[in-house]
Amino acid sequence: MIDINSDMGELTHLFEDRTYHRLIDHVTSINLACGGHAGNTIMMTELSKLAKMKIVRIGAHPGYPDPDNLGREVMNMDPGELTKTTLEQIRRLGEIVSAENGELSHVKPHGALYNQAAKDRAISRSIGEAVLKFNPNLVMIGLAGSVMLHVWQEMGLQVMGEAFADRTYESDGSLRNRQLDLALITNPEKAALQAQMITDEGRVISFDGTEININAQTICVHSDTPNALEIAIKVNKRMNKE
């Protein structure tokens, strides 16, 4: 069964209204914001406990240290500084998970850092260096077919290609910018159909109608997409052929 992942611990209101708590029943991995772009000790601790209880894999979701923009704006950081902040974020979550007798399984960059790493070898390498320093056995999750996966493999790291149920693609295989119209797929059935096409046929139809080959081992459902819970339920049912 293909992995279904979701980014969590980024928005307080989704924690307080228990959206995260309900979503976790329909995914197999979560990526927890760990203090860079978002995230705090309370959310990291409670969601780590819940994931361990539900037998859901826990990963770190480091981003640019820019909470004002939720890590969605590019920051021009020195490679060493980028490695340092990434390592600090992963270490912070790792200590919390360890205190709950759990283990981190993976790392998935967030937002602008993810999008840049998908096409920039130097940024990908800075992230990889942080993971090598923390635990070289962690799996790296990144955009399927992108530069970052190749760089991390060259560094000796394990990788998983990621595709998205709730985002539209451009013809070059990149994600459509969130600020543009129809960048999000909010209809649960459409999102589930896209996820099924990716997993069953290894392809996705881009925003302009281009067919893109895609090799993904994990499907993301963003927790802040409208109808996220309904999308996760539909995707999970499609992946399990229910």
The reported pLDDT for the residue numbered 242 is: 58
Q: How far apart are CA 191 and CA 175, in angstroms?
A: 14
DSSP string, the chain: --EEEEEESS-HHHHHTTHHHHHGGG-SEEEEE-SSSS--HHHHHHHHHHHHHHT-EEEEE---S-GGGTT-S-----HHHHHHHHHHHHHHHHHHHHHTT--EEEE---HHHHHHHTT-HHHHHHHHHHHHHH-TTSEEEEETTSHHHHHHHHTT-EEEEEEESSB-B-TTSPBPPTTSTT-B---HHHHHHHHHHHHHHSEEE-TTS-EEE---SEEE--TTSTTHHHHHHHHHHHHTT-
pLDDT tens by residue, 193-233: 999 999 999 999 999 999 999 999 999 999 999 999 999 99
Q: Which residue has the tokens 């959206």?
A: 19
CA distances from 93 to 112, 160, 229 (A): 20, 21, 25
Start-to-end C-alpha separation, the chain: 13
Say how far residue 207 (Cα) sits from the centre of its chain.
21
Q: How far apart are CA 36 and CA 146, in angstroms?
A: 24
Beta strand 3-8 with 104-107 is: unpaired
Instruction: Report residues of the chain scoring pLDDT below 70.
Output: 241-242
| CATH, domain range 3-239 | 3.20.20.370
Give the residue extent of every domain in the chain.
3-239
